């Protein structure tokens, strides 16, 4: 039995498998989607069940400008990674930086909205069910934006140091996949909180 060696059959030509980075990120996105689904379900389930005010209709205003910022950052990151793929690091870095600025603007918008809600409208996470579900859902999304911005920032620093080249475009694509997911989640959160929820 010990004479057995590793079998080497006829090697098939064209043996190609999906890139592990993309598969891994797709799996993470599936898991994250499940987490967000639960928070969205809780938000919808508790709509109108708060025993005290304020209600969403009274205090929420749709953050249209910041939503446009976040959604357009999907476009800029896509273009950035295409430029990297074609070997144009300058254009890549510029668009990558623009993506970070747009994402940062969005976070600033969320902060401003929360500040207004807390100090002018008196809505905190413990005020009522609406406060609990609203801050949890929007906060979970903002956390994901923050994590995304940190990772984008690391790539930016490496890029400024000249360490990001054409050969890294597959890896950068994995990160942009995550960013697209964060944007797509915002579409859902926006619809649920600011359109259906009011």
Partner 1 sequence: MSSDAIAVQTAGVSADRTWLQTLHEWVTTVDHKRLGVLYVFYALIFLVIGGIEATIIRIQLMRAHNDFVSPQVFNRMFTLHGTTMIFFVIMPFMFGFANYLVPLMIGARDMAFPRLNAFSFWLTALGGTLLYFSIVGGSGLYGAGSAPDVGWWAYAPLTSRAFSPGHSADYWTIAVLVSGFGSIGTAVNLVATVLSMRCPGMKLSRMPLFAWLTLVMSGLVLISISPLSAAQIMLLVDRYLGGHFFDTQAGGSATLWMHFFWIFGHPEVYILVIPAFAFASEIIPVFSRKPIFGYPVMVGATVSIGFVSISVWAHHMFTIGMTSYSNSFFVLTTMIIAVPTGIKIFNWLGTMWGGKLQFKTPMLFCIGFLFQFLIAGLTGIMLGAAPFNWQLSGSYFVVAHFHYMIVGAILFCIFGAIYYWYPKITGRMLNESLGKLHFWLFVIGFHLTFDVMHVPGILGMPRRIYTYEPGRGWDTLNMIITIGAFIQGIAILLFLANLVFSYFGGSKAGNDPWDGWTLEWSVSSPPPVYNFASIPAVASRRPLWDLKHPEDPDTHYD
In the complex, which residues of this chain contact partner 1 (CB under 8 A)?
A: 1-2, 4-12, 15, 17-20, 23-24, 27-28, 30-32, 34-35, 37-39, 42, 45-46, 49-51, 125-126, 128-129, 132-133, 136, 140
Closest to partner 1 by CB, 1 or 90:
1
Give SS3 for 162. Answer: coil
Assigned token pair, 62: 């749709």
Tell me how far apart the alpha carbons of residues 66 and 29 are, in angstroms, rounded to a whole number: 23
Distance of CA 56 to the CA centre of its chain: 24
Question: CA-to-CA distance for 170 and 177, rounded, in angstroms?
Answer: 11
Shortest reach from residue 163's CB to partner 1, in Å: 19
Q: Which is nearer to partner 1, 38 or 187 (CB)?
A: 38
- Least distance between partner 1 and beta carbon 11 (Å): 5
State which residue, 72 or 132, has the beta carbon closest to partner 1.
132
End-to-end CA distance of the chain: 72
Q: Of the two residues 37 and 101, which places its CB atom closer to partner 1 in the complex?
A: 37
- CB of 50: closest distance to partner 1 in angstroms? 6
List helix spans (H) across 46-63: 56-59
């Amino acid at each position: 039995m010990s004479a057995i060696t590793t079998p080497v059959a006829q090697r098939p030509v064209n043996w190609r498998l999906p890139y592990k980075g993309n598969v891994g990120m797709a799996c993470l996105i599936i898991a994250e989607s499940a987490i967000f689904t639960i928070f969205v379900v809780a938000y919808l389930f508790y709509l109108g069940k708060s025993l005290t005010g304020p209600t969403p209709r009274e205090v929420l205003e749709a953050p249209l400008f910041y939503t446009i910022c976040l959604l357009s950052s999907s476009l800029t990151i896509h273009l950035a990674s295409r430029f990297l793929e074609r070997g144009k690091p300058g254009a890549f870095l510029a668009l990558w930086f623009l993506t970070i600025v747009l994402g940062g603007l969005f976070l600033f918008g969320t902060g401003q909205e929360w500040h207004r809600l807390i100090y002018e409208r008196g809505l905190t996470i413990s005020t009522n069910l609406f406060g609990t579900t609203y801050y949890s859902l929007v906060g979970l999304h903002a956390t994901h934006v923050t994590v995304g911005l940190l990772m984008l920032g690391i790539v930016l620093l490496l890029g400024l140091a000249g360490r990001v080249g054409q050969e890294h475009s597959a890896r950068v694509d994995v990160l942009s996949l995550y960013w697209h997911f964060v944007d797509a989640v915002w579409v859902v959160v926006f619809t649920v909180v600011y359109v259906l929820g009011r």
